[in-house]
Structure 1
Amino acid sequence: MNIFTDHPRSVGETYSEHFVAATSFGFPMIMAGAACVLHGVFPFLFEKTGSNLVRRLYDRMVINRQTMTHVNSKGQQIDWCI
């Protein structure tokens, strides 16, 4: 059991592949979160930033899931998890 590789392996990725995938979701979420906070203070700024990001991430993770599935060594289909 290796806490750094068990989960990535369970979704058909190496540690490095999982790092890239997870951070490609995480960093945009951080930036959109900051934009949403600023939008709360200044409603005229970043009016659609948060909702646009949610749509893009949803498209990547859910709608396009068929192209992002993996099969593990047991022949089981694995969906991406973050």
Structure 2
Amino acid sequence: MSPSSFHRRFRAATSATPLQFRKTLRLQTARTLLWTRSESVAEIAHRVGYESTSPCNREYRKMSGTSPGRDTPRRGSYEQV
């Protein structure tokens, strides 16, 4: 199968390009790890495949409307006194 055919079929099946789909999976996995692990945001960014924390932070903020550091039960805004 040619690359263009693969992209066309992938997009028809998922409503996303392969890169968009991969990014969404990474960010969903990062969010799950933020809520279930006690690792730092940097460790989780590397775990899900980002070489640097800043792209992960930027894309996470676009997806969820908040930074990954504030979107956790242990560091969320509701813990502030």
Using structure 2 for the length normalisation, give the TM-score: 0.32
Which one has a bigger Cα radius of gyration?
Answer: 1
Using structure 1 for the length normalisation, give the TM-score: 0.32
